A = this chain, B = another copy of it.
Amino acid sequence: MTGEPRIGDVFGELLRDALAVSTGIGPRPLAGGRLARPVIEIIERDDGLINGAPAAHYLDGPAEWQPHDHRAVDRVRGATLDVGVGAGRIALLLQEWGVPVTGLDTSPGALAVCRRRGVRDLVSGTVDEHVADGRRYDTFLLLGNNLGLIEGRERAPGFLAALAALARPGAQVIAHGSNPYGTRDPVHTGYHELNRRRGRLGGQLRLRLRYRELGTEWFDYLVCSPEELGDLVHGSPWWLADVDDRDAPYYLATLRLRAR
């Protein structure tokens, strides 16, 4: 046997169990059928690196957020699309504030968790798929490191074009990224070097997520410097208007739609 996972809705199962653990309601994983165990998200990188991270943070209320999350929501205005809504932590606060917010996710399980937590307006799919729905937005949120969805040089033009197709005049993107190049850990610097040799951006991670018996396909997820982001945005319908790196190596990038 190879130890290979079955392809499935990793993120949805993970969030469903994390919600069950946090509320005490519904079936949840038990060690030895007896002791509740924390739900751990497992992230594999294609060089063999693996990391586990407790999933509870997806359910965090504003009191537990990082400062940059607060600064991100303070920039929101108008109809807002929360891209990769996850368990809905951001959308729930915006809803409470009366902001018209739509949660977008490709994970059916994540959308089900959002629904149970009270997020009202939810759409299943990618940004590209959502264009045909005819809805338009003033703000796009890519929080929780979701600037990573830009993937790399190949995907960036299409991703940014889809956001522009969903945008009203004057729209903005608020994206949370992490600058990967501050580390001296050879596990990471070696990977950046390997990536460059194979024609990729240094922090263009090739990942898959795993949870219990399920895994995702391998996918690209970008961690890039603000400079690299500037290059990726260049020539797109957007321009990089601001980088807030007060919580470096994390940063909030604000893109603004060019006048057409």
Contacts and interface: CB of A to CB of B under 8 A. Distances in A.
A212 B187 contact: yes
B213 A1 contact: no
A1 B46 contact: yes
A41 B4 CA distance: 18
A22 interface: no
Given A40-B53, A53-B40, A54-B54, A249 B48 contact: no
Nearest to A49: B213
A52 B56 CA distance: 13
A37 interface: yes
Interface residues of A, number: 42
A210 B45 CA distance: 13
Interface string A212-234: 11010010000000000000000
> Which of A3, A42, A182, A206 is most buried by chain B, counting CB atoms within 10 A of its CB?
A3
A213 B47 contact: yes
**Which residue, of A51, A183, A208, has the highest number of chain B Cβ atoms within 10 A?**
A51
30 contacts: A1-B48, A1-B206, A2-B48, A3-B44, A3-B46, A3-B48, A4-B48, A5-B50, A32-B249, A32-B250, A33-B183, A33-B185, A34-B247, A34-B250, A37-B51, A37-B53, A40-B51, A40-B52, A40-B53, A41-B52, A42-B42, A42-B50, A42-B52, A47-B213, A49-B212, A49-B213, A50-B212, A51-B212, A52-B53, A187-B213
Interface of A: 1-6, 31-34, 37-38, 40-42, 44-54, 178, 182-183, 185, 187, 206, 208, 210-213, 215, 218, 247, 249-250
